[in-house]
Structure 1
Amino acid sequence: MADMNMDILRIRSQKPVFPAHPVRSGNVSTAVESPAFANLFDEAKNRVAFSEHAKARMEARHIDFSEEDLTKLDATVGKMAEKGAKEALILLNDVALVVSIKNRTVITAMDGKNAKDNIFTNIDSAAIV
């Protein structure tokens, strides 16, 4: 155990390694400007993220979404953003999601059983998908 702690301390004390000279390889702008990259970047940018809190709640409550569900969620958040929503309650497949529309982030999630008799505050919009 002591040896492992010494190894950890040794690793932490090492300085980061940086190249002595800038690394140049080919025409970087071609790769960045390619349509495939642009499409992937746009898709990633438009994807809704899940906060650590939401991830923990979903795992504890056994909530899973299909790729189709996530696409619906992304589209719904996009429509709500266009209408000026800031914080929303989205009901998707018997799951209540509190979402920061501005940040495109699910704040918390609960299934229908846990959502029953709850009061949701600090939301300005709602959507049933």
Structure 2
Amino acid sequence: MEPLNIQRLQSHPPLRPGQPTKPTPATSFAAQLNSALAPAPLKVSKHATARLSERNIVITDAEWARVTDKVNEAKAKGIRDSLVLMDQAALIVSAKNSTVITAMDRTEAKDQLFTNIDGTIVLS
């Protein structure tokens, strides 16, 4: 028969009734809720970055912010993949993943057939 190896566990001071606990901000419920409700920033895939560069499409920070807001709004309504039509560009965006999949200029987009989208966002 082998000898038993007994170790003492570290104890923490007991909480007294009515003594509030002090959750850390990173683990508090409010912090987690705010994080979950915050709109997801829009990511641009490698493919879309290359297309924007190749086609000399420049989208300002203000325009990106507007696209992001509208994509988040579409996501809240259940849209998964959307076509975003802007003055100078057309973007295919996965609202589900908050990612721009591809981009083209509007003149190129006019002769295209867009499939596998379930929503369209028109910005002017």
1:112 aligns with 2:85: no
TM-score by length of 1: 0.65
1:70-109 pair list within 5 angstroms: 70-109=64-103
Q: Distance in 1 between matches of 2:26 and 2:59?
A: 31
CA contact (8 A) 2:83 2:93 kept: yes
One-letter amino acid of the structure 1 residue matched with residue 94 of structure 2: S
Q: Is contact 2:39-2:72 (8 Å) kept? A: no
Superposition misfits of 4+ residues, deviation over 4 angstroms: 29-33
Give matches, 1:1-129, under 5 Å. Answer: 46-129=40-123
Say which SS state the counterpart of residue 112 (structure 2) adopts.
coil
- Give the percent of matched residue pairs that are identical in Structure 1 and Structure 2: 37
Query: What's the TM-score once normalised by structure 2's chain length?
Result: 0.67
Deviates more, 1:110-119 or 1:98-107: 110-119
Structure 2 unaligned segments of length 5 or more: list them.
Answer: 1-22
- How far off its partner does 1:30 sit? 6.9
Q: Which amino acid in structure 2 is aligned with residue 123 of structure 1? A: I
How many residue pairs get aligned? The number is 94
Distance 2:75 2:65 in 1: 15
Larger helix fraction of residues: 1
Q: Aligned to 2:66, what secondary structure does the other structure show? A: helix
Q: CA RMSD in A?
A: 2.2
C-alpha deviation, 1:31, in angstroms: 8.3
